[in-house]
Amino acid sequence: MATILDDISRTFSEYLLIPRRTRKGQQADQVDLSTPLSSIERLAAPKLKINTPVVSACMQSVSGTELSIALARQGGLGFIYCSQSIESQVDMIRLVKSHKAGFVQSDSNVRAQATLCEVIELMAQTGHSTVPVTDDGSSTGKLLGIITDKDFWEFEDDLSRTVGEHMTPYSEVIHGLEGVSLKEANQLLHKHKKDCLPIVDAGGHLVALVFKKDYVDHRRHPLEMLDESKRLCVGGAINTHDYKERVPALINAEVDALCFDSSDGFTDYQLEGIQWIRKKYGPDVVIGGGNVVSAEGFDFLVEDGGVDFIKVGIGGGSICITREQKGVGRGQASALLEVANRRDEYFAKTGRYIPICSDGGLANDTQIVIALAMGADFVMMGRYFAMTEESPTPKTSINGQMYKPYWGEGTIRAQNWQRYDDGAESKKMVFEEGVDAYVPLAGPLAEVLHTTLFKLKSTMVNVGSDSLAEFRERAVLTLVSEQSVVEGGTSNVFKFDNSSWGNTG
């Protein structure tokens, strides 16, 4: 006969945090939100740590290039989806990694014979006001000079004159030599009061450009997730079907973390995939596994597979209908509590700490806070990021409101056959596990996330915690009754409806 668990499948909205003592001097702006994304062996430093405990879902309508860049700049990590060809996933990863390397390849170049009119057109097209002049007009040609929008007056000068007549010639261009470090390049920019530093090789060919604005930008994003070469970090989703081809390609593109994207990770297929990657690439590559919703699933992927982090959650996603369609899943709070408990037992027994990611179903900022209090090291979100300006879908106006399309990976639209079949050969999708929907546009990622994280930090102060580890340790939660949920809202007051003020003038 089937086993019936004693506990009810519970969700985040059924819990509240009880405040703990706040120490003198504890303030939201001093809370540290950094968290490990890879296993920790006996208190050694993790291979990968993120500065903000949020990652974006491995979904077509969420983790595009622009979103992954925006999220990495806020200290989180985007997981570029694998429901696309290996080549296009690799291209997206490369785009994120090359976004702001400090050294960038020049993408607007001219020959000295070009006219001012042509260079004005180029500047308007690319938005760049500094253009290297090379012998063949390419980004790797011999550098002859630099022309900027300060070298001519568009409405005064004769625009049929050549770039060569107006540019700063190479002999007067402050430049760096190939091999110079980013720090030295920035020092040259500072010393010579320049905005752009061309880097040339021993033969005088253009290699890269370094911009002052990138340095300033970096200083403005202190939590930015950078790799050792100062490039933005990015994750890549993988599946159990083509990992033998996809993983080498992603590793070659220098992806920072891999993550199996599967609604059910408690399978021999995923175990084989993890073991294959470990055997080929050793312990250094960061691998996430899942999804699981039980201690048994955790043991399977950690003890047998050796994953770095575990994703928890089946059926809670905002666009997910797996529970309705298949009768599989578990309330997200119950799943997370059980897996986090097993993670702590495993740590006590082995000294190996496995970070846990709560994936899907976070309906508001409060639930993010509760998930982190319950033991998640970080959260993965789809809907939340789909609502931002940077998600890859187009803005759409419906009845005067702006929306963005958001669809599940288990929809026919996502054409993601591998994820939802039984791990064998791909086959035609017989039923959908996700829906195709719209979400309201919330604004730029940085602004939306800033509010969420500020709320999180302020709750952490209520619980007397300076770090996420301390938050998990000190958190005391209580189940709430339906009546206490009602009590938590406003009561017996007339609420002003801001939106109606505009209508009534």
- Give the number of residues in contact with ligand MZP, rule: CB under 6 A: 23
User: Least Å distance between CB 82 and ligand MZP?
Assistant: 12
Is 57 an interacting residue with respect to ligand MZP (CB under 6 A)? yes
Question: What DSSP letter does each residue of 242-289 carry, written as one string?
Answer: SHHHHHHHHHHTT-SEEEE--S---SHHHHHHHHHHHHHHGGGS-EEE
Min separation Cβ 427 and ligand MZP, Å:
17
Q: Give yes or no for residue 59 binding ligand MZP (CB under 6 A).
A: yes
Q: Please enumerate in sequence order all residues whose Cβ is within 8 A of that of 454, keeping only pairs 6 or more positions apart, or say none.
A: 28
Which H helix or E strand runs over 72? helix 65-73
Distances (CA, A) of 120 to 131, 149, 168, 209: 10, 8, 16, 20
Give 194 or 404: the residue with its C-beta nearer to ligand MZP: 404
Q: What is the footprint of ligand MZP within residues 300-319 (CB under 6 A)?
A: 317-319
Candidates 224, 264, 389, 409: give the one binding ligand MZP (CB under 6 A): 409
Nearer to ligand MZP, 38 or 411 (CB): 411
Nearer to ligand MZP, 167 or 371 (CB): 371
Closest approach of ligand MZP to the CB of residue 409, in Å: 4
Please report, in angstroms and rounded to a whole number, the separation of the first and last CA atoms in the chain: 66
Among 81, 167, 433, 452, binds ligand MZP (CB under 6 A): 433
Min separation Cβ 57 and ligand MZP, Å: 3
Cα–Cα distance measured from residue 27 to residue 47, given in angstroms and rounded to the nearest whole number: 29
Whole-angstrom Cα distance, residue 405 to residue 407? 7
Is the distance from CB of 79 to CB of 96 less than 8 angstroms? no
- Active-site option among 73, 383, 419, 472: 419
Say whether 320 is catalytic. yes
When the beta carbons of 75 and 434 are compared against ligand MZP, the nearer one is: 434
Quote the CA–CA distance of 274 and 263 in Å, as a whole number.
Answer: 16
**Of the candidate residues 239, 322, 388, 452, the single one contacting ligand MZP (CB under 6 A):** 322
Residue 278 annotated as catalytic:
no
Identify any residues that bridge with 468 across adjacent strands, giving them in sequence order.
none
Question: Per residue in 298-328, is it b (16+ CB within 10 Å) or e — as a string?
Answer: bbbbbeebbbbbbbbbbbbbbbbbbbeeeee
The distance of closest approach from Cβ of residue 60 to ligand MZP in the complex, given in angstroms and rounded to an integer, is: 9
State the minimum distance, in angstroms, from the CB of residue 385 to ligand MZP.
8
- State both tokens at 31: 């809370």
Calpha distance 258→37 (Å, rounded): 11
Site string (344-383) toward ligand MZP, x via CB under 6 A: ---------------xxxx-----------------xxxx
Least separation in angstroms between residue 296's CB and ligand MZP is 19
**Strand residues in 314-390 grouped as ranges (E):** 352-353, 356-359, 378-381
Nearer to ligand MZP, 74 or 262 (CB): 262
Q: What is the DSSP string of 426-462?
A: -----S-SB-EEEEE--B-HHHHHHHHHHHHHHHHHH
Within 256-295, which residues bind ligand MZP (CB under 6 A)? 263
Phi, psi of 411 (to 5 degrees): -95, 160
Site residues (CB under 6 A) for ligand MZP, limited to 389-408: 408
Residue 342 binds ligand MZP (CB under 6 A): no
Catalytic, out of 58, 233, 320, 357: 320
Q: What are the residues binding ligand MZP (CB under 6 A)?
A: 57, 59, 263, 317-320, 322, 359-362, 380-384, 408-411, 433-434
Catalytic residues: 320, 419
